[in-house]
Every structure is written in C-alpha cells, then in structure tokens.
Amino acid sequence: MNSQHGHDHSHAVVTEGNARKLTFALILTSSFLVIEVIAGFMTQSLALLSDAAHMFTDAAALAIALAAIKIGKLPADDRRTFGYQRFEILAALFNASMLFAVAMYILYEAYLRFSQPPEIQSAGMMIVAVIGLIINLISMRILFSSAQDSLNVKGAYLEVLSDALGSVGVIIGAAVIYFTGWMWVDTLIAVLIGFWVLPRTWILLKQSINILLEGVPEEIDIEKLRNDLLNLNGVESIHQLKVWAISSKNVHLTVHLLAPCADRNALYREALEMLSHQHGITEMTLQIEEGACAADAHRHEGDAHEEEMAADSHRR
C-alpha cells in the first residue's frame, strides 16, 4: 500500500513576504554601496574597503535571494517534478562561496599592508562607517524573522550581519586612528572582520552542500525517527528509510513499514500524525507491507481449498 501526503504551509504567502523584505533591503544596500566604495578609495582605508566589499556581497546576496524566490515559485513541469524550489539552496551556496572569497581577499590585502600602512583619513572613514551601520541594522531588522525559516534569506541575513559587524569595527578603528595616529589599526580591523565572517560562512556552506547531497537535514534526529516508526502499532520492522530536503523547509521521507497484521489505514494515519507533528516532515511516502500474515492467509486458503477437494472426492 503506497500513500503520499504533502503540506503547503502557506508557502506562497511566506515567499511573497520574503520577496518584499529582500527588495527593500536591496534598495537600501545598493544605494549605500556606491558611496562607501568612493569613500574607501578617498580615505585610503582598507577596513572601509573591506566593509564595502562585504556591502557588495550583501547586495549580490540580496539580489540572488530575491531571484531564487521568483524562480522558486515557478510551477513543476514534466522535466522538473519538484519545480525550482532547490534554486534557493543554489543561491545560498553561491552567497556563501562569494563571502568566503571576499574574506580571503581582505586577509591577503591586509597581509600586504601590515608592513607599510597608508595614511588614512579617519574622520571620513568614521562618518561613512556610521551611515553603513545604520543601513545594515535596518536591513537586519527587516530580514530577521524570515531568516529563521529560509536558508536562502538566512544567507542574505548573514551577509548583512557580517557587514554590520564590519561597520562597528571600522568605527572603532577610525576612533583609535583619530586619537592615536596608529594607521596599522585599520589593517587589524580588516583582518578581524575576515576571521569573524569565515566560520559563519563555513556553516552556511556546509548546510547548503548537505541539502544538495540529499543528506539528512540537521534538524532531523534520524535515530529517534527510526525508533518512533518502529514503535507504531503493528510495525515489526522498517527498511528503505530515506530522509532528505528539497529546500530548507521542505523535508521529504520515504519508508517501507513491515506490518503484517496491522490495520493499514489506521497505521497510515498514526504514522502521518507522528511524522508531521513530532518531526516536521512535510512530504512523505509510506509503503506498508503485508509480509508474513499475507503468506499465512494464502496458506490457510490453500489448506481450506485442499480440504474442500478431499470432501468432494469422499462424497463421490
């Protein structure tokens, strides 16, 4: 007996809301990016240019996340039966890769500058960094709630968060340079920004790759799931258990349940309830196998048939 079940979870409403938030954050970020790049070159600040590089990846991340939502809403067809939902994960993977590359570039540039730090205009650096921090905080506030539900939006949120921290670092660096004249502090701040960003980028990269490799999602405890299935009424054993995700919130499961003497409709309903409420599985395919009881039934039918044949022959 094969059965399938799926939940929408108001997906269209959620993605539409995410798209509006991302659009607003993208407009804010892109507007400030131009100012920060010009100011970075004018002030000779690597920390400010580092912040501008992150701001650029912010803008790219927001644009890609927005495109992912638009493409992800395209309907399924005969060639792509899951539709384009996984584009969200490709976008998150691209964002993480881009942020990783930028962090490595800043670290390399900092290495070159440590021996000969340039003259830095700390006042201009401070003003631009404060404006950048305000822009980032607004964008973070807009994206925060959606980042909990979408790996795509989470990627964009992490970009903005890292940039906000970068702005704080630049502000501190500008203040120190203004009062002490220590130009090397600018390079140190750029390095600290890079080291802070890399671990968070790695986590996002790892999550994205796990989904693309159809690994078990991190939020699923596979041992508990296996035990919960085995504890269902009438289930003797399970096999072919597979759990994977199409996107960050669209988890799929297939499993064969050997339940020879169970009421299959009741078992299906019980499994459905358990999987959706306890494990958050949104799509499932359950195959309930008859096994031994079916064989026993066939054997009893055969015995009865033989007895009936013997009785007929005796009557004759």
pLDDT tens for 1-20 read 544 444 444 444 456 677 78
Residue 6 confidence (pLDDT): 42
Confidence of residue 312 (pLDDT cuts 50, 70, 90): low
Mean pLDDT of the chain: 78
Residue 14 confidence (pLDDT): 54
The strand pairing partners of 283, in sequence order, are 6, 252
Tell whether 21 and 102 lie within a shared domain.
yes
**Cα 133 to chain center, whole Å?**
26
Measured CA to CA, the distance from residue 13 to residue 305 in angstroms comes to 61
Asked whether residue 315 carries a pLDDT value surpassing 60, the answer given is no
Residue 101 confidence (pLDDT): 82
Measured CA to CA, the distance from residue 196 to residue 162 in angstroms comes to 8
| CA distances, 147 to each of 18, 64, 106, 141, 216 (Å) | 9, 15, 26, 10, 21
Per the domain annotation, does 3 fall within a domain?
Answer: no
Residue 241 confidence (pLDDT): 93
Tell whether 287 and 248 lie within a shared domain.
yes
Measured CA to CA, the distance from residue 195 to residue 103 in angstroms comes to 8
Per the domain annotation, does 148 fall within a domain?
Answer: yes
Measured CA to CA, the distance from residue 280 to residue 115 in angstroms comes to 54
Average pLDDT of the segment spanning 201-220: 86
Average pLDDT of the segment spanning 207-223: 88
Number of folded domains that form the chain: 2
Tell whether 196 and 92 lie within a shared domain.
yes
User: Is the Cβ–Cβ distance between 243 and 251 less than 8 Å?
Assistant: yes
Measured CA to CA, the distance from residue 254 to residue 286 in angstroms comes to 6
Residue 9 confidence (pLDDT): 40
Residue 225 confidence (pLDDT): 92
Measured CA to CA, the distance from residue 216 to residue 241 in angstroms comes to 11
Residue 8 confidence (pLDDT): 43
Which of 212, 237, 266 delimits the end of a domain? 212
Residue 295 confidence (pLDDT): 46
Count CB neighbours of 194 within 10 A. Answer: 22
Which of 159, 180, 212 delimits the end of a domain? 212
Asked whether residue 70 carries a pLDDT value surpassing 60, the answer given is yes
Average pLDDT of the segment spanning 156-172: 81
Look up the domain containing 308 and give its range. Answer: 222-312
Which of 171, 194, 212 delimits the end of a domain? 212
- Tokens standing for 125? 């650096």
Residue 7 confidence (pLDDT): 41
Average pLDDT of the segment spanning 256-277: 89
Tell whether 37 and 137 lie within a shared domain.
yes
In sequence order, what are the residues at sequence separation of 6 or more whose Cβ sits closer than 8 angstroms to the Cβ of residue 268? Answer: 1, 3, 286, 288
Tell whether 136 and 166 lie within a shared domain.
yes
Tell whether 261 and 190 lie within a shared domain.
no
Q: Which of 44-48, 194-198, 213-217, 225-229 has the highest mean pLDDT?
A: 225-229
